């Protein structure tokens, strides 16, 4: 039976890991039709020729961006583009009344000076920056539904903000927080670097950008916005030789003695009715979320109940990028939040 297509979408940047994952997921969506694919290619080329796994699943061509054509054949756009590139494209699409979900960092940080510091570029679209909504449906669903421009969260931030926000909102933990996070190398995108070669990645693990990673200001500003709490945040990311996923181990100090029962009640208060956050009885495992749009959260407390580790894991390309973007699209278009994702 042919699926009913109610929304036409264009995906800009379909040769990266995130763009490829968007195509894969949206092809399964019951209410959306992909009508336009772009990338940096000299001549139009069948997408299935670039990625043979799509043979028989789509006959679309991938081509260089043509604004006039894009505007005619798509209603909502996913921008899976390098940081700073979206700044040149969003104003044009937004002016023409299109809905946009940007998967870069260009509209996540409300302070242009902070953006310039971490992304080494002047923010050239301050007007639309003011109206962009941060795309974390678990806390900003109402705002996302009303928005025409959503800034999709970064992968590390999703894995940190979801487990920490309830604790901060309930004023349960001290401001000093340490995060040790490990990500598949796919989070860095498709780049021809020696460190990304299979022989260097496989069975390997290394820390990088401790304290200065570009996701630090995103995590701290969003946590403050959601909870009203400013944190003393230490973040150490690691690249790990696995195919996909992020695992974040968060070290917290409780302001008063805590037990597992109380902590379960806190998380249940915030996530009992959310479709993609699962609070586990045991510490979560990465393989349980890879290939899904779920964020799994678990925790362990010391004997005195004053120290704890909160662990979370996601698929970095799905809940950390493409899946979360589709979740936002569903809200923007009035679809069921889980449509195409379960």
Catalytic residues: 155
d(CA 34, CA 50): 17
d(CA 340, CA 342): 6
d(CA 265, CA 280): 12
8-state DSSP, 154: P
Output the CA–CA distances (angstroms, integers) from residue 307 to 178, 189, 211, 260, in the order listed. Answer: 12, 36, 22, 12
What distance lies between CA 20 and its chain's CA centroid?
15
Output the CA–CA distances (angstroms, integers) from residue 216 to 45, 179, 222, 235, 341, in the order listed. Answer: 38, 11, 10, 7, 28
Looking up tokens 């006039």, which residue turns up?
68
Looking up tokens 């150490």, which residue turns up?
236
CA angle 271, 272, 274 (to 5 degrees): 60
d(CA 54, CA 59): 9
CA angle 63, 65, 67 (to 5 degrees): 135
User: Which residues fall within 8 angstroms of residue 198, CB to CB, at 6 or more apart?
Assistant: none
Task: Calculate Rg over the CA atoms of the chain.
Answer: 20
Looking up tokens 């974390």, which residue turns up?
136
Output the CA–CA distances (angstroms, integers) from residue 318 to 188, 215, 314, in the order listed. Answer: 14, 17, 8
d(CA 13, CA 24): 14
């Amino acid at each position: 039976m042919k699926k009913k297509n109610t929304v036409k979408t264009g995906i800009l940047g379909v040769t990266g890991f995130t763009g490829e994952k968007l195509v894969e997921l949206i092809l399964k969506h019951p209410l959306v039709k992909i009508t336009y694919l772009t990338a940096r290619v000299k001549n139009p080329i069948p997408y299935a020729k670039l990625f043979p796994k799509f043979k028989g699943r789509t006959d679309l061509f991938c081509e260089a961006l043509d604004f006039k054509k894009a505007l005619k054949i798509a209603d909502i756009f996913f921008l899976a583009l390098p940081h700073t590139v979206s700044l040149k494209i969003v104003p044009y699409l937004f002016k023409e009344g299109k809905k946009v979900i940007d998967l870069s960092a260009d509209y996540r940080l409300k302070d242009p000076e902070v953006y310039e510091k971490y992304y080494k570029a002047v923010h050239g679209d301050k007007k639309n920056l003011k109206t962009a909504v941060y795309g974390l449906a678990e806390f900003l669903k109402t705002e996302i539904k009303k928005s025409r421009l959503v800034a999709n969260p970064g992968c590390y931030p999703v894995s940190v903000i979801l487990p920490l926000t309830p604790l901060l909102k309930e004023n349960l933990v001290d401001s000093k927080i340490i995060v040790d996070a490990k990500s598949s190398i796919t989070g860095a995108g498709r780049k021809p670097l020696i460190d990304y070669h299979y022989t260097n990645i496989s069975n390997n693990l290394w820390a990088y950008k401790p304290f200065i990673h570009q996701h630090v200001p995103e995590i701290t500003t969003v946590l403050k916005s959601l909870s009203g709490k400013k944190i003393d945040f230490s973040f150490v990311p690691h690249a790990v030789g696995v195919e996909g996923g992020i695992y974040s181990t968060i070290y917290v100090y409780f302001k008063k003695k805590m037990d597992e029962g109380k902590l379960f009640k806190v998380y249940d208060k915030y996530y009992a009715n959310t479709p993609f956050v699962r609070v586990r009885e045991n510490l979560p495992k990465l393989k349980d979320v890879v290939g899904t749009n779920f964020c799994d959260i678990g925790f362990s407390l010391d004997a005195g109940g004053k120290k704890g580790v909160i662990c979370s894991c996601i698929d970095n390309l799905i809940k950390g990028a493409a899946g979360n973007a589709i979740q936002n699209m569903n809200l923007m278009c009035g679809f069921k939040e889980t449509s195409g994702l379960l």
